[in-house]
Chain A
């Protein structure tokens, strides 16, 4: 069964460092998303990406964040200068567009020290 894969599963970084989280969405899907979840709490929407551009972003997704789909398969989230409060699980999801069902990866746990 096709699945969304995310790497790394866990990353530890120092405050102020740049981090890139990678996702490989399901190949024929059209919409791509990043969500954040702090310590098993609410799943917060960060950004959606469609037709090679950002379609929606939340207030969390400030200038420190960026997304890219560089090669038609990978979908990356970059945090330019990490802060302590960026520590969270980051989930990538993709959606084909007709069913409405989001497929999630297993997440990347980011720990900022």
Chain B
């Protein structure tokens, strides 16, 4: 199986705090991506990090990738109530590339105003 686990499964924080979510995977990858899903909606792409990159920033998002540990983390700084959603990491394996993009089980984030 390509994908591992995300932790925590659920995270509840106060508005203004930082939220950190982790993702692990099993096979060598080309890219790792993070997506967000609001309840009952489709997934929205947040950020992509390539296997030769170690860190990437986009606004209040910071993603790190450690290919030696096969893990990634997503940090959301200065969280807002509107950040409440589920967050999923997704990987495409070197062997299959874009043919197979696999999602982790996700972290449910609640930001309390």
- A residues within 8 Å of B by Cβ? 4, 31, 33, 35, 40-45, 48, 50, 55-56, 91, 93, 95, 97, 99-107
Q: Is B41 an interface residue (CB 8 A)?
A: yes
Across the interface, do A95 and B98 meet the contact criterion of CB distance under 8 Å? yes
| A-side interface mostly | strand
Residue from A41, A56, A104 in contact with B100 in the complex, judged by beta carbons closer than 8 Å: A56
Contact of B106 among A43, A45, A56 (CB under 8 A): A43
Q: Is the CB of B98 within 8 A of A91?
A: no
Name the B residues within 8 Å of A93 (CB-CB): 43
Measured CA separation A99–B102 after assembly (Å): 16
Q: Provide the residues of chain B in CB contact with A41, threshold 8 Å.
A: 105
Count, chain B residues at interface, CB 8 A: 26
- CB neighbours of B44 from chain A (8 A): 104
List 5 interface pairs A-B (beta carbons < 8 Å), by A numbering: A33-B101, A44-B103, A48-B101, A102-B33, A106-B42
Q: Considering only CB atoms, which chain B residue lies closest to A4 in the complex?
A: B42
Are B48 and A99 in contact, CB atoms less than 8 angstroms apart? yes
In the complex, the answer to whether A107 meets B96 with C-beta atoms within 8 Å is no
Interface status of B63 (Cβ within 8 A of chain A): no
CA distance A104 to B37 in the complex (A): 10
